[in-house]
């Protein structure tokens, strides 16, 4: 198995990073074009703009239209899709080795002449408005959306990434075109490619695609800390269950030297499934919910502590009090040696499952590069986890009292 590496591809005076791994075990090639600072964090006044733009880019090309483009892909078993996250927009492509040249040609056609037509926009808007309307009855979605609005008030992260019915209806074609033109730029790009392909051929494919893009400029990505206001809001709906979502600040940024300790701490507290503190107290001992979960979300643009559970209306108050109690006790008393040993066994023992496929290895190296942690950061973290002692873990837990400043978003009965 070859090592996943980071190369540089020079196009029009710009050095674009290319993450590459040769893997000839299957005759397939996988490729991604990732555009930084191009996700929902760039929506501005129109929530959902990045998502709508990505959906428009899934509507084929000017020459072929949506149906013709889809037929061209299907005829050669090529997968090609576009999606927008919080910070990035990603073109994802996969094909058999023998069809890779044709796949690159179709992606080039999409990049140079996407089907940004009034008809395509109307189709996308109709689909998204319908989906958003249905989501109003998805109370997990509603509770999570309102939690983020409270945690990140007056920041780009407060708006729902999928937009609102009103914001999507208000979008005009010229706005979508401007978003695409301002974000699909070579300076923002990272190429991720691997499979049964040589490094030379991978570089040639990357240059071919990147040369179609304007040079542009990579803007700085803002950072938005979560609120410590510790609010609680109830959102009344016709429901027989209470949907309890909670969050708090988490004072850690990408690249923090203690990130490996946070992985262990959060596994013990609530991300480790059965056996975690939150699950043990909420489900096993008190029978308040089928599942209870919490973790730390650490990204380049934000970091926060987050969790959720679903419970009976009658148990809503007890569930909230239990969440507070579990977190307060964890901060005060820390973890036990047994919990640390169990976390180590899982995190170290499950590592082979996280890197067994080409896509997993490429994704891991991409994230290490994107977050500025350095290639091999994940392996180095595992070595640190292996030697982590209980005193160091509990000292870390004790100093992160900010996760006690909990904000609750609860969808409950009218």
Taking the chain (414 residues) in consecutive chunks of 10 residues, what is each chunk's mean pLDDT?
A: 86 95 95 97 97 98 96 97 98 97 98 97 97 96 97 97 97 98 97 97 97 94 96 96 97 96 97 91 92 95 97 95 97 97 94 87 94 92 97 98 98 94
Residues 247, 321: one domain? Answer: yes
Residues 99, 247: one domain? Answer: no
If we measure between CA atoms, which residue out of 73, 38, 34 comes closest to residue 53? 38
Of the three residues 162, 178, 210, the one that is the final residue of a domain is: 210
Q: What is the pLDDT of residue 273?
A: 86
Distance from chain centroid for Cα 6: 21
DSSP-based three-state secondary structure for 243:
strand
142 within a domain of the structure (yes/no)? yes
Residues 344, 196: one domain? Answer: no
Residues 197, 247: one domain? Answer: no
Alpha carbon distance 244, 323 (integer Å): 10
Of the three residues 210, 242, 276, the one that is the final residue of a domain is: 210
Residues 353, 395: one domain? Answer: yes
Distance from chain centroid for Cα 49: 17
Residues 160, 91: one domain? Answer: yes
pTM of the model: 0.94
Residues 206, 257: one domain? Answer: no
Alpha carbon distance 380, 393 (integer Å): 17
374 within a domain of the structure (yes/no)? yes
Residues 10, 142: one domain? Answer: yes
223 within a domain of the structure (yes/no)? no
Contact 279, 323 (CB under 8 A): no
Alpha carbon distance 96, 40 (integer Å): 32
Region of 56 please: left (phi>0), alpha (psi -120 to 50) or beta.
Answer: alpha
Q: What is the pLDDT of residue 225?
A: 95
Alpha carbon distance 275, 283 (integer Å): 10
141 within a domain of the structure (yes/no)? yes
DSSP-based three-state secondary structure for 215:
coil
215 within a domain of the structure (yes/no)? no
221 within a domain of the structure (yes/no)? no
Residues 11, 47: one domain? Answer: yes
Q: What is the pLDDT of residue 115?
A: 98
Consecutive H or E run containing 328: helix 316-333
Contact 209, 104 (CB under 8 A): yes
Q: What is the pLDDT of residue 414?
A: 85
218 within a domain of the structure (yes/no)? no
Q: How many domains does the chain have?
A: 2
Residues 173, 238: one domain? Answer: no
> What residue ranges in 204-263 does DSSP mark as E strands?
232-237, 241-249
183 within a domain of the structure (yes/no)? yes
CATH number at residue 199: 3.30.830.10
Q: Which domain holds residue 93?
A: 5-210
Alpha carbon distance 70, 141 (integer Å): 31
Of the three residues 175, 210, 245, the one that is the final residue of a domain is: 210
Residues 323, 174: one domain? Answer: no
Per DSSP, the residues of 9-34 read EEETTEEEEEEEEE--SSSEEEEEEE
Residues 95, 153: one domain? Answer: yes
Q: What is the pLDDT of residue 1?
A: 54
Q: How far is CA 348 from CA 174, 192, 369, 382, in A?
A: 50, 26, 22, 7
In sign, the C-alpha dihedral spanning 45, 46, 47, 53 is: negative
Contact 184, 177 (CB under 8 A): no
Q: Is 342 exposed, middle or buried (0-12, 13-18, 19+ CB in 10 A)?
A: middle
């Amino acid at each position: 198995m070859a090592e996943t590496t980071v190369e540089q591809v020079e196009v029009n005076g710009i050095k674009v990073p290319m993450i590459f791994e040769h893997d000839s075990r299957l005759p397939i090639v996988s490729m991604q074009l990732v555009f930084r600072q191009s996700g929902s964090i760039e929506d501005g006044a129109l929530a959902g703009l990045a998502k709508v733009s990505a959906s428009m880019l899934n509507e084929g090309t000017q020459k072929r239209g949506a149906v013709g483009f889809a037929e061209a892909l299907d005829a050669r078993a090529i997968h090609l899709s576009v999606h927008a996250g919080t910070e990035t927009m990603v073109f994802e492509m996969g094909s058999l080795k023998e069809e890779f040249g044709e796949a690159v040609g179709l992606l080039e056609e999409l990049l140079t002449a996407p089907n940004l037509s009034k008809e395509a926009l109307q189709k996308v808007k109709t689909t998204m408005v319908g989906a958003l309307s249905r989501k109003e009855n998805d109370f997990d979605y509603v509770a999570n959306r309102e939690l983020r609005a409270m945690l990140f008030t007056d920041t780009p992260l407060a708006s729902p990434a999928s937009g609102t019915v009103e914001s999507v209806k208000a979008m005009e074609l010229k706005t979508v075109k401007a978003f695409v033109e301002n974000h699909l730029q070579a300076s923002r790009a990272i190429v991720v490619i691997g499979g049964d392909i040589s490094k030379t051929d991978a570089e040639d494919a990357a240059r071919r695609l990147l040369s179609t893009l304007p040079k542009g400029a990579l803007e700085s990505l803002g950072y938005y800390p979560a609120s410590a206001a510790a609010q609680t809001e109830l959102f009344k709906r016709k429901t027989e269950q209470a949907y309890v979502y909670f969050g708090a600040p988490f004072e850690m940024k990408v690249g923090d030297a203690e990130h490996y300790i946070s992985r262990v701490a959060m596994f013990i507290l609530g991300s480790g499934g059965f056996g975690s503190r939150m699950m043990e107290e909420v489900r096993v001992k008190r029978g308040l919910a089928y599942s209870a979960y919490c973790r730390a979300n650490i990204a380049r643009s934000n970091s926060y502590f987050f969790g959720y559970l679903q419970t009976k209306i009658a148990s809503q108050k007890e569930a909230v009090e239990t969440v507070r109690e579990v977190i307060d006790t964890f901060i005060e008393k820390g973890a036990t040696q047994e919990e640390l040993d169990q976390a180590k066994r899982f995190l170290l023992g499950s590592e082979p499952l996280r890197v067994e496929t080409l896509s997993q290895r490429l994704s891991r190296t991409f994230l290490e590069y994107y977050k500025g942690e350095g290639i091999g950061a994940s392996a180095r973290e595992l070595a640190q986890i292996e030697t982590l002692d209980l005193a160091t873990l509990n000292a870390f837990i004790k100093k992160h009292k900010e996760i006690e400043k909990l904000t609750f978003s609860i969808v409950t009965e009218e």
